[in-house]
Chain A
């Protein structure tokens, strides 16, 4: 046995040495310079890490913000939504609501796609007809619910017809990029989705699915050459890994940053925020007990203190809401005071109720716990029930959740979308949510939509009455609009995030290059 111990000792030494040698070889190969990781030219490379990869690069075939962040670098829209949600000309120079159901858009002249194909009315007509062609099966048609048709008036003017008067139609144009008809017909849909070209500030160099989209600056961009030479979009699904990649200097901008992580950033990385366009709310199903009673829903509004939530859960990086609109929205009513915060008074109603369950998608669980805490303080016996996002969506769509916390994006910033999506009888058939709609609110929505094109102030007045009506009925407790937060390397200069979550890198530059 002793001799075997000797064998063991000899092996101990050999095995350890062999293992160390192998590992050091691996390390030496692995740590060798990997060749030009920071970009080779003076402008440098900005790498943006998003949660997911682009789904496709065909702007007609997705419903994903991360995808649009990439396509918008390659292709321009007619109109852009600025940091204050105001519309800015891009490929369109002006737009006019000539008749209640007809919009005339003047186009920028002298712009070409990167293959030399001219940008003109034909390209615009082709782009929108393609999206609305049933054979195309584009998932974006519902983002332009009032679109009825498009036509070329002359080479640089197009006309859009709407199904009904829609004063907010121009904002819909801000979310669609223009494609080159000649190139697309030449290469076909499938190839275009992998290798698109456009009129945008960057040109696609390479897209390796799941790994990276590499874009190089378009030296002939009509809006001026971007300051950086290269932009790379990388998908990093895990938040902690995105943050680590930012801290390690592998990426310069990370998206989808929660406030609790944002507050930890110091030194070479900082948090940059834009006023958001998402509204989070408590939804109460008006057809189910105990929320079928208006006094219960009103008491819930008195029990929740949005200011406290914005300050604590969101670290002050959220706008507290007392109505189903944020301040940048066209119909926001600054004179509305909202429900008084009276948890003690609310307790008289909420304390008598049977225990309730607050449904929430997993990613909003922490927020829901904080809201539930306030409701418990007002006497409501409530437990948080978090579930996978898909299951949650299905449950609230079917109207099976009596009480839920949800958030919804309103990037266009128009109130019509809020009311149509959440409080109109027409959409309650397919997405029940709270189940709330009423003939008077339906009528007011119709009046407001019609008035928007002829009498903007009148329309705003109608929206304010509509808002008060909805708040009195109280199917929602509006909560907050969180800021869109990004982690950014302090080397990045001149970059400003947009409320809609879009990443515009034309003006961004990189110090130290």
Chain B
């Protein structure tokens, strides 16, 4: 899969995710399937429990269905799932 900035418009529900960095250390290490998504949170099924993880303060590794692993800063993903679809040119780095 080609990784472009458009990746932030993709669907994250159903993917495997892992929290690899966070401003709050307690979130690091949570990994599992993304169950649901709100404006500010991902719900990740971690060891049989559903964990709410704030997007804004975490960095994630997402495994796409074709096996590509992408590291994405959560603050780029803040926004309701349907709003992320709208054009958003990010010049943040």
Q: Do A and B come from the same complex? A: no
**Partner-B contacts on A (CB < 8 A):** none
**Partner-A contacts on B (CB < 8 A):** none
